Structure 1
Amino acid sequence: MRRLLAGLISLFCFTSSTYAAEVSVALAANFSAPMQKIAAAFEQDTGHKAVLSTGATGKFYAQIRHGAPFQLLLAADQTTPERLEREGLAVAGTRFTYAIGQLVLWSTEPGLVDAEGAVLRSERFTRIALADPKLAPYGAAALETLDKLGLRQQLQSKFVQGENIAQTYQFVASGNAPLGFVALSQVFADGRIREGSAWIVPAELHSPLLQDAVILKAGADNPAALALADYLRGEKARSIMQSYGYGF
């Protein structure tokens, strides 16, 4: 009996190690919260593990070009995965839009940000946070919005720039900036803004925040990379994304 039990355990361990794998994911900072939940569900449902590294899409592009061994990129834009595919650093035909993000002007102070964003034309703040537009698509969308409103020149001296959208959120959450442009997913839960005040920026004020994923060359033969790309298109993952304010 002991020999049989030991044999079954050995077989189970062999089978698990044969089919379960890890995938190294370069993850756009705006998608961090939902992806934590998706990764947990993915591991539970498939046995594969997603190892997440969060940061600015522009920085990930530079790291991948310099040989960083990421296997799947979840970008905050479409341009970066397309460029990597064109440069031969991503697997052709694996690129797809996994989410559509939303930009929001947010403050921890109730009543500071009104529902039309008119606060931007007021003198009620001394600093406004946004992500580096050269590295972070949400920062570029924030600048587009200010350009459409004719306010960039007027507000430029008040800019506090984060390296990515996660750092930008921290500037506002900590009070270092009284308001700022962040991703809706960072402040949204259960169908509402969690705290403070916010203006969800109308989609016509900036380019669509279409977020693409692509399997990178290092992940071409990794079953976990292929499985996670497929899982992101599934009902469970999309339900989690929707709860954070993303569209598809």
Structure 2
Amino acid sequence: MQSLLARLLCAAVLSCGTARAAEVSVAVAANFTAPMQKIAAEFERDTGHKAQLAFGATGKFYAQIRNGAPFEVFLSADDTTPAKLEEEGTVVAGSRFTYAIGKLALWSAQPGVVDDKGEVLRRGAFAHLAVANPKTAPYGVAALEVLRKLGVADALAAKLVTGENIAQTHQFVASGNAELGFVALSQVWSDGRLTGGSAWRVPAELHAPLRQDAVILAKGRDKPAARALADYLRGAKAAAIIKSYGYGQ
């Protein structure tokens, strides 16, 4: 009898845990792909909730959210897009917060191509320089700002190749279709070191801050998993993962 009661109690506990666990649909800026995959795994392990992740360009996500896409949480690559959504009434009031400060890097998949001061841009001895589309990707806006501040924008204009988002931009360089390109530092940096190739960590003063904000969207208003993820992103475990990819906070 005691054994039967124990099994019934165990089943009841598991059933309650399953009932509490839920899924949350998350739109994530492409630069945050690797850290968010790690955070989502830890989030599920710690809370039981599962984050369904979609990665892409911030500008495209904005259009999709405005057109009714079923996202419940949005992790943007900037702070202006979430602020705009907040003004338009499509987010939960008071839910916006900065989850990371992005860092830009000029990167080549080949060692020795990019020097640690970015002088390779002034020399111009390359055929293609990859940047993310500035119309949809904040990292693309930052890249063009760097070129203008360095005074090389006009000289390099004909060499630019544009990725749909920062993930495609990274792929252009990784595949060798572009000798170098401006990518998110998080794409080439892990645990305090460069993961391969050569890179220049672009000084923050050369572009506007890449302040990345998150919001709970209207569709996540009554979803405990959405609130749980927002809280988790502000916790110590997520902060450690974010820092390991070179972001500031």
TM-score, normalised via structure 1 length: 0.97
SS of alignment partner, residue 45 of structure 2: helix
2:151 corresponds to 1:134: no
SS of alignment partner, residue 37 of structure 1: helix
2:232 corresponds to 1:244: no
SS of alignment partner, residue 167 of structure 1: helix
Quote the residue 1:230 is aligned against: 231
Quote the residue 1:103 is aligned against: 104
Task: State which drifts further: 198-207 or 188-197.
Answer: 188-197
Counting matched residue pairs gives: 248
Whether the aligned pair in 1 keeps the contact of 2:24 and 2:50 (CA below 8 Å) is: yes
Gaps of 5+ in 2: none
User: How high is the sequence identity, in percent, across the aligned residues?
Assistant: 66
SS of alignment partner, residue 130 of structure 1: strand
Amino acid at match of 2:66: R
SS of alignment partner, residue 109 of structure 1: coil
Task: State which drifts further: 16-25 or 91-100.
Answer: 16-25
> What is the alpha-carbon distance in structure 2 between the residues aligned to residue 150 and residue 123 of structure 1?
12
Amino acid at match of 1:109: Q
Amino acid at match of 2:131: L
Quote the residue 1:173 is aligned against: 174
- 1:42-94 superposed Cα distances (whole Å, 9 cap, x missing partner): 11111111110000000000000000010000000001111111101111100
Quote the residue 1:123 is aligned against: 124
Quote the residue 2:113 is aligned against: 112
> What is the alpha-carbon distance in structure 1 between the residues aligned to residue 51 and residue 97 of structure 2?
18
Gaps of 5+ in 1: none
Q: Following superposition of structure 1 onto structure 2, how do residues 1-248 of structure 1 map, counting pairs within 5 Å?
A: 1=1, 3-4=4-5, 7-248=8-249
Let me know the Cα RMSD of the aligned residues: 1.1
> What is the alpha-carbon distance in structure 2 between the residues aligned to residue 25 and residue 139 of structure 1?
22
Whether the aligned pair in 1 keeps the contact of 2:74 and 2:214 (CA below 8 Å) is: yes
Offset of residue 199 of structure 1: 0.5
Offset of residue 123 of structure 1: 3.4
SS of alignment partner, residue 146 of structure 2: helix
Offset of residue 6 of structure 1: 5.2
SS of alignment partner, residue 33 of structure 1: helix
- 1:96-154 superposed Cα distances (whole Å, 9 cap, x missing partner): 00000100000011111111101001132100000000100000000010111111111
Offset of residue 8 of structure 1: 2.7
Amino acid at match of 1:42: F
Q: After the TM superposition, which segments of 4 or more aligned residues of structure 1 sit over 2 Å from their partners?
A: 1-10
> What is the alpha-carbon distance in structure 2 between the residues aligned to residue 59 and residue 9 of structure 1?
46
Offset of residue 5 of structure 1: 5.0
- 1:214-248 superposed Cα distances (whole Å, 9 cap, x missing partner): 00000011111101101111111000011100110
Amino acid at match of 1:138: Y
Amino acid at match of 2:167: A
> What is the alpha-carbon distance in structure 1 between the residues aligned to residue 124 and residue 141 of structure 2?
24
